[in-house]
Amino acid sequence: MFLLADEENSTGTNTPKKNAVGGLSRAEKYAMEEKDQVVATKCGHMFHHGCLRSHVHQSLDGRSGGGTGLFCPICTKPFAMNRLWKVIIPTTKAQRERYEQFHLMKAQNSEMHQQLQGIRSKIADAEKELNKIKEDSEECL
């Protein structure tokens, strides 16, 4: 299930609308890892879960008097961290293609890194050999 925010209503807040989602591709599942999770508050405002958690910690750390209520950073309506809605945003074909391209490039980068290490090793060996030749030639002079 994913949530989309409707247009702002007369009170100036977004009302979430629920929609069903079928099977998810590997790219879509990857995009929804917890570190990338989007959540919606009861008032309908959507946030990156980590950003909202940081906001909550900063709010609680900065309070005097020990208040425990949490408030939406946008409309200041109260919300609870255990009452957030997970928002699943289906990926587009272009996003899935970029995801696959990213992983292909990541594999190529790893291969090139190994090749670079081999080249650096050969250069170090060649420099040692060159230094030895220089030493031998200086002895001859």
HEC states along 34-71?
Answer: HHHCEEECCCCCEEEHHHHHHHHHHHHHCCCCCCCCEE
Q: Looking at residue 3, what is its pLDDT?
A: 38
Q: Whole-model pTM above 0.75?
A: no
The answer, yes or no, to whether residue 11 has pLDDT greater than 80, is: no
* φ, ψ (nearest 5 deg) of residue 121: -65, -45
Q: Looking at residue 2, what is its pLDDT?
A: 38
- Tens of pLDDT, residue by residue over 68-81, are 678 888 998 998 88
Percent of the chain residues topping a pLDDT of 90 = 33
**Once rounded to an integer, what is the mean pLDDT over residues 135-139?**
87
Q: Looking at residue 12, what is its pLDDT?
A: 43
Please, what is the average pLDDT of the chain? 76
> Pick from 15, 8, 13, 17: which is nearest to 76 by CA?
13
- Tens of pLDDT, residue by residue over 82-117, are 889 888 878 888 988 998 999 999 999 999 999 999
The domain ranges of the chain are 1-91, 92-141
